[in-house]
Structure 1
Amino acid sequence: MMMKNWLRKHPEVRTIRVAAADLNGQPRGKRVPTRFADKVVEDGTRFPLSVLNLDIWGEDIDDSPLVFDSGDADGVLKPTERGFMPMPWLEAPTALLPIWMFREDGRPYDGDPRHALRSVVERFKALGLTPVVAMEMEFFLIDDSGRNLQVPVSPRSGKRRKAAETLSIRALDAFDTFFTDLYDACEEMDIPADTAISEAGLGQFEINLMHCDDALRAADDAWLFKMLVKGMARKHGFAASFMAKPYEDYAGSGLHTHFSLIDKDGKNVFDDGGPKGTDMLRHAVAGCMRAMHDSTLIFAPHWNSYDRMVPGAHAPTGICWAYENRTSAIRIPSGSHKARRLEHRVAGGDVNPYLLLAAILGAALTGIEDQLEPPAPITGNAYALDLPRIPDTWGVAIDAFDNSDIMKRIFSPEMIRNFVLTKRQELFYMDELTPDERVVIYLDTV
């Protein structure tokens, strides 16, 4: 009823979009006239199961059993708890209705990334634990109108400043109109956007999404935020991209994830009253470290992802953890012991937020279940240490994910199969392209 009431309170909305996230985080769905919205809310909509398993070009996976072998059968897509929200980057008043996929008999479809995260969250719930999640969203503003990518002209100064400006107020003010509209849109869409800063890359910025005790909602926020930023940038005459590394000579974009766990009484189970954290914190760290090599494909899902993961470029390359050390893959931030948490720093901005949280939280859960102990935390520069390495090529990451026993404890067999088939197909076709052609593909998609 609340969903129907939203539309009735917004009579200016004439069309809606219904959209689900595919394995690459691409919105897939339909445009529906508002007068048929009640039917979508009550009965859902339908499209093939294979639609959530398309490659980055939007093409079927050649050897997928979801396509011809099964007659390309339909799934049933139902609204998520999020309900309707405006799409402020479009000219015409339009509402978005996020949906997720179920099988004909009502079972969740295991190939839907949102269900992958739901499954992990339910396992925490069975232990009386709730993840509290916050995400840092890095992206680039880009003028892609010419042959070469460059920072857009500032609407305020009319100038194009070709330099990285870390934590520069001037860089933020140069695009004040864009950021003002972006924050207004976040308010309209109920996306908890907090602090904005300029980052180390050319035209690169970061906006933090506030912590949330609903991991599904946190992933929704990140997915919707990416959609919003890209759409709003185009409305302002330039592009925004979350691709991992658009410029060879500048740092790439990460998506750092912070999380803690609270028990039924609302107590942070990582908090021991001091700076070190509890046994459960260490078990979670150990689980994340054990799974890191095999889950790299989730954190770095595209060809361009691996251009970011090189030593000295603000992206982790070794599997390690540390207290208050940004060269490590897992960082335990300082500050109030009440907010003791784990920061996972491996993922690029180009990830699917649902699979990202499923991989991180699922790995931590296995460490807690097994009461795993991590090695000693590192000190100093992680790049200078002899550490187990995170895969630095796409092919190695695909094989590691495909052959992993630990991934089978986190993801369903169908999800593993679908993701691997997708990435092998993309690797095959990306190998035929030039670097510039790859950038064109990734710029607007990821």
Structure 2
Amino acid sequence: MSNWKDALPSAAFDYIKGRKLDEVECIIADLPGVARGKAVPAAKFEKQSEFFLPNSIFFQTLTGSWGEAAGPEGWIEPDMVLKPDMSTATAAPWTGDWTLQVIHDAFGRDGVTPIPMAPRNVLKRVVDLYHQKGWTPVVAPEMEFFLVARNLDPAQAITPMMGRSGRPAAARQAYSMSAVDEYGPVIDDIYDFAEAQGFEIDGITQEGGAGQVEINLQHGDPIKLADEVFYFKRLIREAALKHDCFATFMAKPIQDEPGSAMHIHHSILDSEGNNIFTGPQGGETDAFFHFIAGLQSHLPSVIALLAPYVNSYRRYVKDHAAPINLSWARDNRTTGIRIPISDPAARRVENRLAGMDCNPYLGIAASLACGYLGLIEEERPDKQYRGDAYDGDEDIPGEFRVALDLFDEAHKMHDVLGPEFARVYSIVKRMEYSEFLQVISPWEREHLLLNV
């Protein structure tokens, strides 16, 4: 990797210019989206073209247990070959020394065959299917999260962070600039970290929950945007810790408050760079409706990826800023599928179902996979919903186990995402669900201990 620093993205190059680079973090996202890897001295990174981790990192639950998903070889934990994607090199500006992060891709022992369980590889697989049809998918994710008081005891409820005024962050203050000012120092560091990492923020707003913030990103390549969300989760957490609070991406961290979503906007370009959702005269095309229909038909089968934990289903509550069905409409935030106001060239489809707790690679891959199947099968959507979609029927799985059952039955979807990924994901997530069932909640102790 001689002269590797000369090929760094401009922001990373500028960050270390004139300084002694100390360390490089070689990272990869596991199934939950946690960064796994190794930190190595910069001098060692310069000499290596790859490193190794056992494939078992993709069999691990969020709690640290292991799903029995090793396959026919048995539990031998063979090494994967991890190769750096230098286009992802970025600063780690919160560290005490000069450090870069680099996302790696996972390959088999031959160094060529992609590991099918790796979330970034799953997204690449879906994007490649679009490319084979002459299409280029474009996405724009929106990230919602809460800034909360430090919580060191899981038995205690999560509470809003203390603002500059000395009062806890207030709820029901959507779009309030004063509310954002309450935690302005955290927001300032988020901006500073993002600038150091070369990320462009399209906007930051106060959401409806107490201490709930939304960050919008510029539209672009799905893999690049998933990388950015992966990085953003870490930088936001680090910014919060600097100011004695936590940032949480739980789908529903605070009782009676709205949940946090990762809305995904989609458009598709043809080989000439034209939006296939818009016709020559500016009208809506068949492809536009096929994509919507794909979301309506196939989203139920991937809710287990968009809402990957038991807590995720607490977000889908009527009249609490999250969808309860798969209706679609223009400029209507009560529907699961929304068509925002835009000029014809920017026509896009917004999927409002994904929670911020999902792995960004898997959430974007699943959403694109649904639209892809709709395009390929030339499906037609239901009629546009008129009015408040909370008055409609609920057709989103109400719990994680049901969502996993739907995922297991979705063989067309497995072909798009990868059958081996689907097999491993189901095993690991069922293990997590089993672990959850062993935990007795405060509600159960309060109401069942002496009353049943």
Question: What TM-score range do you get, normalising by the shorter chain?
Answer: over 0.9
Q: 1:221 aligns with which of 205, 225, 228?
A: 228
Q: 1:4 maps to what in 2?
A: 5
Q: 1:131 aligns with which of 133, 137, 151?
A: 137
**Structure-2 separation of matches of 1:368 and 1:145:** 46
Q: 2:105 aligns with which of 64, 81, 100?
A: 100
Q: 1:31 aligns with which of 24, 35, 39?
A: 39
Q: How many angstroms does 1:275 deviate by?
A: 7.8
Runs of 4+ in structure 1 over 4 Å off = 273-276, 434-437
Q: 1:337 maps to what in 2?
A: 344
Q: How many angstroms does 1:11 deviate by?
A: 3.5
- For 2:87, what is the secondary structure of its paired residue? coil
Q: 1:75 maps to what in 2?
A: 80
Is 1:236 aligned to 2:243, yes or no? yes
Identity of aligned residues (%): 34
Is 1:292 aligned to 2:299, yes or no? yes
Q: 1:442 maps to what in 2?
A: none
Q: Give unmatched runs, 5+ long, in structure 2.
A: 444-452
Q: 2:94 aligns with which of 64, 89, 92?
A: 89
Is 1:170 aligned to 2:210, yes or no? no
Contact 1:18 1:30 in 2 (8 A): yes
Superposition map of 1:47-446 within 5 A = 47-61=53-67, 63-65=68-70, 69-105=74-110, 106-145=112-151, 147-154=156-163, 156-212=164-220, 214-272=221-279, 277-386=284-393, 389-435=395-441
Q: How many angstroms does 1:123 deviate by?
A: 1.2
Letter in 1 for 2:136: T
Aligned residues: 431
Contact 2:290 2:381 in 1 (8 A): yes
**Structure-2 separation of matches of 1:355 and 1:102:** 18
**Structure-2 separation of matches of 1:436 and 1:184:** 40
Q: How many angstroms does 1:240 deviate by?
A: 0.1
Q: 2:27 aligns with which of 19, 22, 46?
A: 19
Contact 2:147 2:212 in 1 (8 A): yes
**Structure-1 separation of matches of 2:151 and 2:411:** 46
Q: How many angstroms does 1:197 deviate by?
A: 0.4
Q: How many angstroms does 1:68 deviate by?
A: 7.7
**Structure-2 separation of matches of 1:79 and 1:436:** 45
Contact 1:15 1:33 in 2 (8 A): yes
Letter in 2 for 1:160: P
- For 1:294, what is the secondary structure of its paired residue? helix
Q: 1:3 to 1:256 in 2, by over 3 A?
A: farther
Superimposed CA distance per residue, residues 20-69 of structure 1 (whole angstroms, 9 cap, x where no aligned partner)? 001111111111112201133x2x110101113311023322x2225981
Superimposed CA distance per residue, residues 201-243 of structure 1 (whole angstroms, 9 cap, x where no aligned partner)? 111000101111x211011111111111112211221100111
Q: Give unmatched runs, 5+ long, in structure 1.
A: 438-446
Q: 1:191 to 1:359 in 2, by over 3 A?
A: same
Decide which moves more: 228-237 or 422-431. Answer: 228-237
- For 2:172, what is the secondary structure of its paired residue? coil
**Structure-2 separation of matches of 1:108 and 1:433:** 37
Contact 1:77 1:100 in 2 (8 A): yes
Letter in 2 for 1:89: W
Contact 1:87 1:95 in 2 (8 A): yes
Q: 1:444 maps to what in 2?
A: none
**Structure-1 separation of matches of 2:357 and 2:75:** 31
TM-score by length of 1: 0.92
Contact 1:251 1:313 in 2 (8 A): yes
Q: 1:413 to 1:37 in 2, by over 3 A?
A: same
**Structure-2 separation of matches of 1:433 and 1:297:** 21
Letter in 1 for 2:197: M
The CA RMSD measured in Å over matched residues stands at 2.0
Superimposed CA distance per residue, residues 148-170 of structure 1 (whole angstroms, 9 cap, x where no aligned partner)? 3222222x333324433111101
Letter in 2 for 1:152: M
**Structure-1 separation of matches of 2:158 and 2:244:** 14
Q: How many angstroms does 1:14 deviate by?
A: 1.3
Q: How many angstroms does 1:112 deviate by?
A: 0.6
Decide which moves more: 300-309 or 63-72. Answer: 63-72
